[in-house]
Amino acid sequence: MHSWFNGRIAVTALAAAALGALVSVVATRGAVPVAAPTPTVGGKPDFSGVWQALNEAHWDLQAHEARAGMVTQPGVYNYEYARVPAAPVVALGAAAGVPGSLGVVQGDGQIPYKTESATIKQQNGEHWIDRDPELKCYLPGIPRAMYMPYPFSVVQSTDKIQMTYAFSNAGRVIHMDKVEGPPDDTYMGHSVGRWEGDTLVVDVTNFNGKNWFDRAGNFHSDALHLVERYTAISPDAIRYDVTIEDPKVFDRPWTISMPLYRRLEQNATVIDYPCIEFSEEFMYGHLRKDQLVKRWEGETMIVDITRKVPKGDLLHNWYRR
């Protein structure tokens, strides 16, 4: 009896120990990690690092369903829902499609275009492959550079904040001190920052009006004025809000909002994406006497490319001599 009783006690003790260990593991896994304090520069949050947006805003700021392609044409029944990829992108298959998105436009989710501006936006979307500045590797502008599918870096000091973007080797300086305005308008605008508590607020002006907001054809004029707000959510996430005002294009100011995430790779850096050399054939290939890109033969299809050359194109006539 004594031996049996001692054995039961030992088994019970082992079971209790195992249960305690299991409860400890479950409690540890379910615990919310405590965020490390955000580093500071001069007592303000330090946003230095490599960051990237993880959303679909670069396709379209507004909420949208998945689409067959960035360039589409009516399907068999000529209904909007039956549109299919157009010739320039059909060979890309699923890679040419557009993923759906909940959108980043705040409020009712609509961009308040003036009537005539809404018509231009629609035309931009229909002629995306001819008009989008991104395809020509132009500087992306702000805020578009912030949510393109590429990383960007931030180097912060007390009176200047430098942002460097992978796409088109773009960059900008946020001036935290008093400076003179630029001599001319530019793609990236002129950024002047200030602190409101622990939120970095940046006024951006002096745009040349040649940028888009996304690949859907949303655009602005040279009257664009942005107010950006950067607020630390954690050491590895920033809430990015932008109020957009452009009286030439929109009926009222409107706002987009999204998180930006720190790249946590040990060797995180921004690798230049020198897209200018990749877009030369796209932009100027039609000027060649013997075009290099005019036909592609794959396993399942053949694509012939015909370029339209404007009549009286002096550069074209000179190049073909």
222-258 confidence digits (pLDDT tens)? 999 999 999 999 999 999 999 999 999 999 999 999 9
The first and second tokens of residue 55, run together, are: 């959303």
CATH 2.40.128.20 residue window(s) in the chain = 44-64+100-262
User: What pLDDT sits at residue 72?
Assistant: 83
pTM of the complete model beyond 0.95? no
CA distances from 290 to 206, 279, 319 (A): 42, 18, 11
70 pLDDT band, cuts 50/70/90, is confident
CA atoms within 13 Å, Cβ hemisphere of 91: 13
210's tokens: 């040649």
- Each residue of 305-321: pLDDT tens digit? 887 766 555 444 443 44
Are the C-beta atoms of residues 85 and 71 closer than 8 Å to each other?
Answer: yes
What kind of fold does domain 44-64+100-262 have according to CATH?
Lipocalin (2.40.128)
The predicted pLDDT at position 85 comes to 85
Report the candidate in 260, 246, 309, 256 with the shortest Cα–Cα distance to residue 117.
246
Give the pairing type, strands 171-175 and 190-196. parallel
